[in-house]
Structure 1
């Protein structure tokens, strides 16, 4: 009876070691892959949102423009609107 308990303990310890080494190998592999793969290129926005293909919607405070299937569509300005610098409101892609 004592022999079967020590045998079970040895099997459990052996199994636990295999699991621990497997987890450690998985973590090391994940870190290695993350370190070796190149990072995605960052999107460089154009100085003018209307010229930036990734900018789907932009505004100057008076007009709101969107890229549609038929081209660019812009709203009409409000009364006595003073335009500001254009800013991108919504991006598409990455």
Structure 2
């Protein structure tokens, strides 16, 4: 780093304060971003992946959780599937 003889000490001090101020603002912004709670909610589990869901379906086929794994019905030929949803939770009749 070369020293510029034409710069006076007051300007150098002011420049240092500006640099430290910017560094402080950047650090504060990063800290606030890391510590502030986000509005993002974790994605819900698909019914097939949710161990609390005993039976799920999409209006065309129905799947049931058994000890050996999932067992699903076959859809009809003219069925239009909807959104997959849990139809019965574990412990419900």
TM-score normalised by length of structure 2: 0.48
TM-score normalised by length of structure 1: 0.48
Considering fraction of residues, name the structure with more helix.
Answer: 1
